[in-house]
Structure 1
Amino acid sequence: MDLGLKDRVYIVTGATRGLGNATARALAADGAKVIITGRDEKSVEEAAAELGGEVLGLAADNADPSAAQRLVDTARERFGRLDGILVSVGGPAPGFLADNTDDQWQTAFETVFLGAVRLARTAAAALGEGGVIGFVLSGSVHEPIAGLTISNGLRPGLAGFAKSLA
């Protein structure tokens, strides 16, 4: 299938597995140049090798305040441009109200919410006309999912943030 993405440049976070990986695979198969990320360096290297094409794997944690700029800078230095970013983040710790600690909430906020905001803000400054910013969210943006209290609290806010970018 030709999606017209040949030589376009995308960053896909959380791309070592799941929806991030599937998206990176589709982009690479269509000829896009893709930077994929994940927190574990070995997993990122393995995913990049498996995807083939012009895929560059970088270990990055969305919670790291410097990660967004590093990813955008790498896209521009390596490929000369940036056409889009897909922010995909694994789910935070499961649990109910009494189960989740402040540390779990803080970590999830920095990774799922604030990290995504930083990535979008940094990418937006680098994107040209027609650039895209996308987010992988959750069904919890519409209806809370039992046992996923932290995700239920954060993902709808991220959906609201994403809508404000449109």
Structure 2
Amino acid sequence: MDLGLTGRTFVVTAASSGLGRASAAALVAEGARVVVVARRGEVLAEVVAALDATRSGDGPAAVALTADVADPATGPRAAAVALETFGRLDGALVSVGGPAAGSVRSTTAEQWREAFGSVFLAALGVTEAVLQAGTAPDLAVGWVLSTSVKSPVGGLAASNGLRPGLGMLVKQLADEVGPDGTRVVGLMPGRVDTERVQHLDGLAEDPAAARRAAEAGIPLRRYGQPEEFGRVAAFVLSPAASYLTGCVIPVEGGALRTL
């Protein structure tokens, strides 16, 4: 199946590892070009080299922007890099850092404010920049959220408080930009084997036991791989998903107990 991504350009944030990197790789594999954004410049350089090595045809597959997605200037800078390097901008996959673990009562006011800025405002800021600078009549924006949109994840109060709000804004923003042909979709990863999930498992007294317990609650009885998430993200952003908008899609091996 041809996803129709050849020649299209996307901004991908949090792209130095995990879900962002896997999504960037899936987009490039389908013929797209990407602006990869993250704070770790040295790692981003390795990502760009790896992506370029897989591209067929002339020109680069990827360009890096070392920046913090929580910085309000990052979104406009990323959009400008896309236009300067590739001459077009067709959308974005917006992933932000996971907020610190903690209970509701142990999370301080300062931690709540920091999480709101780095999760909520960061997603909105990058999205607005892409919507303003986008050159395609059929822009596509994907937000990497979490299964906490629909069901709380133990010990992640900040995520549980913020992600459902972004999930609802997927629906409202899709209403607002849909008449222009723009699509907005949220993705809800569950236990995907990323550095973030490994860190969370590592907080347990017995990380291996924590992982086994988590896997036992997944119908497929295993963690997902970042590449599996990346393929879903590439499809969602592609013209092949042209009638998909205003929804949040679980990528969690069936673990959610909600529809």
Same-fold status (TM-score > 0.5): yes
Shift of 1:45: 1.4
Match of 1:161 among 159, 164, 169: 169
Shift of 1:160: 1.3
Show structure 1 runs of 4+ deviating over 6 A: none
How far apart, CA to CA, are the structure 1 residues paired with 2:98 and 2:45?
22
Shift of 1:134: 0.8
Gap runs ≥5 in structure 1: none
In structure 1, the residue corresponding to 2:154 is in which secondary structure? coil
Shift of 1:102: 2.4
How far apart, CA to CA, are the structure 2 residues paired with 1:116 and 1:76?
20
Partner of 1:130 in structure 2?
138
Shift of 1:156: 0.7
Quote the RMSD (CA, aligned, Å): 1.3
Partner of 2:71 in structure 1?
64
Note the 1:101-112 alignment, pairs <5 A.
101-112=108-119
Partner of 2:157 in structure 1?
149
Shift of 1:98: 2.9
Note the 1:1-12 alignment, pairs <5 A.
2-12=2-12
Question: Aligned pair 1:43/2:50, yes or no?
Answer: no
In structure 1, the residue corresponding to 2:36 is in which secondary structure? strand
How far apart, CA to CA, are the structure 1 residues paired with 2:2 and 2:38?
27
Partner of 1:16 in structure 2?
16
- Equivalences, count: 166
Which stretch of structure 1 is more off in the superposition, 47-56 or 67-76?
Answer: 47-56
Contact 1:84–1:131 (8 Å) recurs in 2: yes
How far apart, CA to CA, are the structure 2 residues paired with 1:72 and 1:80?
10
Question: Aligned pair 1:83/2:90, yes or no?
Answer: yes
Shift of 1:152: 0.4
Shift of 1:5: 0.9
In percent, how many aligned pairs have the same letter?
Answer: 47
Contact 1:62–1:110 (8 Å) recurs in 2: no
Gap runs ≥5 in structure 2: 56-60, 175-259
* AA partner of residue 167 (structure 2): A
Which stretch of structure 1 is more off in the superposition, 122-131 or 136-145?
Answer: 122-131
User: CA-to-partner distance for each residue in 1:15-56, whole Å, 9 max, x for gaps?
Assistant: 111211111001111111101111111121122222223111
How far apart, CA to CA, are the structure 2 residues paired with 1:103 and 1:45?
33
Contact 2:92–2:142 (8 Å) recurs in 1: yes
* AA partner of residue 12 (structure 2): V
TM-score (ref. length: structure 2): 0.61
TM-score (ref. length: structure 1): 0.94
Partner of 1:96 in structure 2?
103
How far apart, CA to CA, are the structure 1 residues paired with 2:116 and 2:49?
31
Partner of 2:195 in structure 1?
none
In structure 1, the residue corresponding to 2:64 is in which secondary structure? strand
